[in-house]
Chain A
Amino acid sequence: MTDAPRAPSPALETPKGSRRHLLSIAELGAEGIEEILEVSDAFVEVGRRSIPKVPSLRGRTVVTLFAEQSTRTRLSFETAAKRLSADVLSFSVDSSSVKKGESLRDTVQTVAAMGVDAFVVRHTSAGAPAAVARWVDASVVNAGDGWHEHPTQALLDCYTIRQVLAERAGRPLEEAGVECFVGLRVAIVGDVRHSRVARSLVLALGALGAEVTLVSPGGLLPPSLEGWPLSGVSYDLDAVLPTVDVCYLLRLQSERGAGAFLPSVREYSTWYGLTSRRAALLPEDALVMHPGPMNRGIEIADDVAALPQSVVLRQVSNGVAVRMAVLFMLLGQVGSSGGARGLASTLASVPMAGDTG
């Protein structure tokens, strides 16, 4: 007996306003990015309250499934989910049945069978979150997959840039829009090859109209830059620094073998580390950003990380608000699994939106 033809995998449909998953920046487009940034404003306000918690996702369950080490991303997602009143299950591959040989698919489907509304997935393999999205009915958020993408990091970076620029212009955030990105000169410096953050950020900034320059030793550039919306690639950090509005430093990812592409870490640090001498080359109001965790003394000097232009900690606190926005938009929408479970039958009796009474 021959095998039956494989059923086509269910398409990952993402019509506007009814997004189920957040797997990449590429699928969002400028409009999708703008919408998430705008919704994030409301969650930044929630974070400033004395009780920074809203009941929006009561009764929903969010699972964080991390098959790779992480501190900030995991805690950030868990904080975000808890501030939305969702229940959070934490799942670490190192201490699970995966160690007994269970496949990722079986593990995910087992967890999903317990009644889960969203998976937040980090994995060493590119495409793992997209695979999870095909296996389960729940929403899936990519929290970093291999060298592919890390969309929420790029979103929180864009949010931070927009927030700082709006504050400087003395404009209220709700009127900020995304025009501030048009023509904004951004240098992304360092280990682009191994960086999912760089890929997501280049796509996001490119979609919003920024001029992005990669600054990196040749060995740490990806094999191909086809399809990257770049305005340039440079090997000379000193020449680029005086011309940028944002200097974004990437972590040298030694655990992914970045060292093998370099003569030595010290040489890298000499040519591409942001020392205080180099920081002085930056325009006075240029921002210094880093996705963390920082290798102090390698890509960023200790005293530079503490400069007022450095917004590294702001990136972290905005991360919670942006992830709240993402979870709220995925789980709070019509027909998301939690809503469909008990409430869809009442849909007919809900009056037309507009004045909501």
Chain B
Amino acid sequence: MAERERRLTPPRGGVFVPRVQVLTAQDVQRALIRIAHEIIERNHGLEEVVLVGLQTGGVPLSFRIASVLEEMEGTSVPVGLLDVAFYRDDIGIRPVLPEAATDIPGDLTGQLVVLVDDVLFTGRTVRAALNALSDYGRARAVQLAVMVDRGHRELPIRPDFVGKNMPTRIDEQVDVSLDGVVLGDVVPR
């Protein structure tokens, strides 16, 4: 979750107050194993597959998927990290600051990129990520894996691999980690 963005959200930031645990750590682990299977199935193996985790929520998930893939297929999949702050369309509307540096292994031209994020919401982060990726080469294809799809899309974007479809209110907040998925609210400080 974007801690820095939350801290800077006007007027004084907010605090995440958890309400319901939706997935346990075990559920998350099972979903990641299923997603790993689906990635192999869809792409008939792991040739030229690169995982790219979105900073910061997608990063632990992408490393976890990579280690599951390695256990299953015996090949190690490169993992890149991508921060999309500089490509967002709400710069100047909302405080936007990079969370962490981008680290993409080499040129992505001809590779099959699987973007990994924690929550798919409006789709604007993914839109920014697609623009950012194109600066690292022309990927053969880009697929999207998310732990939670919470709806409320504002752009024609859909995930290829989903841990859990979860209808939410627009003002709720979804917190994803390897310890589970929690639904809650952001309360102004």
Contacts and interface: CB of A to CB of B under 8 A. Distances in A.
Interface of A: 17, 39, 41-42, 44-46, 49-51, 53-57, 84, 173-174, 328-329, 331-336, 338-340, 343-344, 346-347, 350-357
B6 interface: yes
B14 A347 contact: no
Name the 9 nearest CB pairs between A and B, nearest first.
Answer: A339-B92, A357-B121, A42-B98, A54-B86, A357-B122, A353-B9, A353-B5, A56-B86, A332-B91
Given A353-B94, A356-B125, 16 more contacts: A39-B98, A41-B101, A42-B85, A49-B135, A50-B107, A53-B135, A54-B135, A174-B101, A340-B92, A353-B9, A353-B95, A354-B9, A354-B16, A355-B1, A357-B119, A357-B122
B53 interface: no
5 contacts: A42-B100, A42-B101, A173-B101, A350-B93, A357-B121
B96 interface: yes
A332 B96 contact: yes
Interface of B: 1-2, 5-6, 8-10, 14, 16, 57, 83, 85-88, 90-98, 100-103, 107, 118-126, 131, 135-136, 150, 152, 170-171, 173-174, 186
A337 B102 CA distance: 28
Most chain B beta carbons < 10 A, residue from A17, A84, A352 = A352
A344 B93 contact: yes
Given A353-B5, A356-B124, A55 B86 contact: yes
B93 A347 contact: yes
A343 B94 CA distance: 10
Given A39-B97, A42-B98, A329-B97, A354 B90 contact: no
Contacts of A335: 92
Nearest to B97: A39
Most chain B beta carbons < 10 A, residue from A328, A355, A356 = A355
Q: Name A's interface SS.
A: loop
B92 A332 contact: yes
Contacts of A356: 2, 5, 88, 121-122, 124-125
A31 to B, nearest CB: 12
A329 B96 CA distance: 8
B93 A45 contact: no
A355 B93 contact: no
Nearest to A339: B92
A332 B97 CA distance: 9
A357 B94 CA distance: 14
B158 to A, nearest CB: 13
Nearest to A355: B119
Given A355-B119, A355-B174, A339 B91 contact: yes
A98 B36 CA distance: 66
Nearest to A338: B92
Contacts of B57: 355
A261 B187 CA distance: 61
Nearest to B173: A354
Given A39-B98, A174-B100, A354 B2 contact: yes
Contacts of B136: 49
B10 to A, nearest CB: 7
B2 A350 contact: no
Given A49-B136, A334-B10, A356-B121, A351 B170 contact: yes
A59 B7 CA distance: 28
A84 B97 CA distance: 14
A344 B94 CA distance: 10
